[in-house]
Chain A
Amino acid sequence: GAGVSQSPRYKVAKRGQDVALRCDPISGHVSLFWYQQALGQGPEFLTYFQNEAQLDKSGLPSDRFFAERPEGSVSTLKIQRTQQEDSAVYLCASRVIGYNEQFFGPGTRLTVL
């Protein structure tokens, strides 16, 4: 079946612009995660949804970061007033309830100029 999809795959933003990154999880996957991966580092957790409920947002680096999943399927990660330090790959992962394995989408590479 289809895997996790993310769009756009690449995004270039000028500093101060707002961006919205989309994640479409694997069908039937209740849990959805967002991670941020800086160049040369491992992914860092941002936030976690179970259905439409955001159960953990402890990894969001500032109040400029906001995530939502209003209908329990597609999720959007929004970054307001982007800064250069926001440049990274944003990864979305989904998971079937009752299992621990997370499956990643292709990521969105964000470059803030």
Chain B
Amino acid sequence: QKEVEQNSGPLSVPEGAIASLNCTYSDRVSQSFFWYRQYSGKSPELIMSIYSNGDKEDGRFTAQLNKASQYVSLLIRDSQPSDSATYLCASGAAGNKLTFGGGTRVLVKP
């Protein structure tokens, strides 16, 4: 079992809809969680970080963390074709190395 699990997708959503991405982690000592967006052939780009239980909103993005369930999610509202990418979930323990999931590919269809 991988330490960070994501559905590989593709997750297909119509333009303007909400994309919902899920991630589970197994290491209970993980303290910080991140969502990165990665376009094909490009490097990961940080879009959200979350450390406490609950929701964190930034523009069209909302991250949700539930440490009891070891679950992190990302909502993308008003999805745009430019949101089509692979979204990587990562956990961090003791503020050092990140452990990544395999990524979820999102396709936003006009």
Q: Is B46 an interface residue (CB 8 A)?
A: yes
> Would you call B27 an interface residue if the criterion is a C-beta within 8 Å of the partner chain's C-beta atoms?
no
Bound together, the chains give a CA A3 to CA B96 distance in angstroms of: 20
Q: Which of A43, A45, A102 contacts B46 (CB 8 A)?
A: A102
Q: Which chain A residues (12-68) contact chain B, with CB distance < 8 Å?
A: 31, 33, 35, 40-45, 48, 55-56, 59
Q: Which residues of A are at the interface with B, using a C-beta cutoff of 8 A?
A: 31, 33, 35, 40-45, 48, 55-56, 59, 89, 91, 100-107
Report the count of interface residues on B (CB-CB < 8 A).
Answer: 23
Question: Which residues in B have some Cβ–Cβ distance to A below 8 Å?
Answer: 4, 32, 34, 36, 42-46, 49, 51, 88, 90, 92, 95-103
Verify B92–A103 contact, CB threshold 8 A: no
- A91–B43 Cα gap in the complex (Å)? 8
* B97 and A33 contacting across the interface, CB-CB below 8 Å: yes
